[in-house]
Chain A
Amino acid sequence: MDKEIRINRENNAVYDLVSIYTGLSKINSMFGDNVNEDDYLDNALNCLRLIGNVHPLLYGISAESDNEGYVCLPANALSIEAVTNGYFDWSSFSYMGNTSNFNLSGQYIAYEFLGDRIRIEHPNKKVSILYKGYSSDEEGLPLITEAEAEACAYWWVYIDTRRKIRTGNASANNYFQIALSDKNKAINQARVPNKFSQNFLNQYGNVITSFDRKSYNKDYKPIKLQ
């Protein structure tokens, strides 16, 4: 559990998450288009799903179930790590959340994950929930990297060009291939981190070399990453 968090966040070389709206300003500066904010957000979320990057953090909340046993989760929840009937051990609970191990006290209790909430058997009961969620802004929209914002901008232009072709725009046909290749290039670039830290490479290299050493008839020399 903790290891996965380190892979995603602690071994990042730079903290470069920006608002999802950064893509809007990029569209304006790169293409001069005025885009409806909501239309952009619809398409940007589609684009992010296509890129497939997730920037998760581990969060912990204490809450009380309602009369029917439901507990609402924050909007950024992706998956549940643990639900217990105890409280967080504040001695190891850092305000940074991701820098220390959570130590849930109490017993694990059975729950049903319903997407935006969980249901437990006990009404009006205090529970501690450890969940994995993406980094989000105050609206619940994900924070993204600069490369992802640029990919969202190119994705918008691709969608817009396709729409223009459907409405009979003569010049959009000529531009379509460029928009398509730009979009694919930007999406592929967004999948690669801007910079690898030594910690990440060390971890990545260990995985590869350990796999190689277990293979039959393979070289035992460790792989050197450039």
Chain B
Amino acid sequence: MKGQWTLLGIASAIKNNLEAGLKGTANYSFSMEQLEYEVISTRNAIIKQLDTQGILDKTEFVQEINCIPVDCEKLSLCCDVNTKTTTLHFELPIFTHIEYVGTPNRDKPFKIYNNSNFIYNKFRNSKLNKRPYVSMRINEGIQHGFLFNPPTSNIKYVSVSGILSNPLDVNKYSCCNYNPREDKFPAPDYVITQIIDTMTSKWSSWYYRFNNSKSNNQTGLP
């Protein structure tokens, strides 16, 4: 859509800035794919920085996936372990922050436990320990969720919203169609400006230094 920053638009802006500034002094080519990935990692670094400063508004970065299929899987996630007990399970791309995990119609959020802390749920207040909860684990680059006390016995999908480590990961699901050429990059404008400034200054200073180091013959010194 016109008038908004897409991932490709941000990468192109950085490329244009660098090429215009380096015109006549250097002749470098840029990989757009590398620039796009660097835009994403710079965004994550800025999110971390804003969070530490206490001025992060997470809602401006949130993406949601509403069709995550639920299957059954062993808690060990390993075929060698001889156990027949399986648990309701779903796979997610890696989220740096999860805002909601629950039913797709948003009426039942689940409590989130990280790693193996879910085993202490039974010691929770007796009025609350029968409520649904999930255990989140990252294994081989995939975030696994195990669902306990499901709200309905035949639950088929769960919905997740939060800040994705890589915004392009939503395309792994059939209900999501994020197009980096057309859809708005999930960050507010002030962060996008910061991404462009940070990357342009970083790359241009690198090139400036590399360019100078090639001809360091002391002739320019007074």
B77 within 8 A of A: no
Question: What is the number of residues of chain B that contact chain A, defined by CB distance less than 8 Å?
Answer: 19
Whether, in the assembled complex, B122 has its beta carbon less than 8 Å from a beta carbon of chain A, the answer is no
Q: Mark B131-145, 1 if CB is under 8 A from A, else 0.
A: 101000000000000
A contact residues, total (Cβ < 8 Å): 19
A78 contacts chain B at the CB level, 8 A cutoff? no
Interface string of A150-193 (1 = CB under 8 A from B): 00000000000000100011111000000000000000000000
Q: Which residue of B lies closest to A20 (CB)?
A: B127
State the CA gap A75–B112 with chains docked (Å). Answer: 25
- Bound complex: CA A170 to CA B128 (Å): 33
**Residue contact B54 to A42, C-beta cutoff 8 Å:** no
Q: Which of A38, A45, A75, A170 contacts B53 (CB 8 A)?
A: A170
CB <8 Å contact, A36 and B128: no
Q: Is the CB of B112 within 8 A of A34?
A: no
**CB distance A36 to B127 under 8 Å?**
no
- A141 in contact (CB, < 8 A): yes
Q: Which residues from chain B contact A4 at a C-beta distance below 8 Å?
A: none
Chain B residues with CB under 8 A of A219: none
Q: Is A140 located at the chain interface by the 8 A CB criterion?
A: yes
B112 touches A36 (CB 8 A): yes
Q: How far is the CB of A199 from chain B (nearest CB, A)?
A: 32
Set of chain A residues within 8 Å of B131, measured between Cβ atoms:
38
The answer to whether B99 touches A34 (Cβ under 8 A) is yes
A139 adjacent to B126 (CB under 8 Å): no
Q: Which residue of A lies closest to B124 (CB)?
A: A42
A112 interfacial contact with B, CB 8 Å: no
User: Mostly helix, strand, loop or mixed at chain A's interface?
Assistant: loop
Complex contact B109–A170 (CB within 8 A): no
Cβ contacts under 8 Å, A75 to chain B: 127
Cβ of A17 under 8 Å from chain B: no
Is B111 located at the chain interface by the 8 A CB criterion? yes
Q: Decide: B99 and A164 in contact? CB cutoff 8 A.
A: no
Is A89 an interface residue, CB under 8 A from the partner? no
A172 engages B128 (CB within 8 Å): no
Nearest chain A CB to B130 CB, angstrom units: 9
User: Could you tell me the distance between the alpha carbons of A187 and B131 in the complex, rounded to whole angstroms?
Assistant: 27
Q: Tell yes or no: B125 within 8 A of A by CB.
A: yes
Nearest Cβ on chain A to B108's Cβ, whole angstroms? 9
Check B189 for interface membership: any CB of A closer than 8 A: no
A51 beta carbon closer than 8 Å to chain B: no
CB of B197 closer than 8 Å to a CB of A: no
Inter-chain pairs besides A39-B111, A169-B54, 10 sampled, C-beta below 8 Å: A34-B58, A34-B59, A36-B109, A41-B125, A41-B128, A45-B125, A45-B127, A116-B126, A139-B127, A170-B52
User: B-side interface residues toward A, CB under 8 Å?
Assistant: 51-55, 58-59, 99, 109-112, 124-128, 131, 133
A contact residues vs B (CB 8 Å cutoff): 34, 36-39, 41-42, 45, 75, 116, 139-141, 164, 168-172
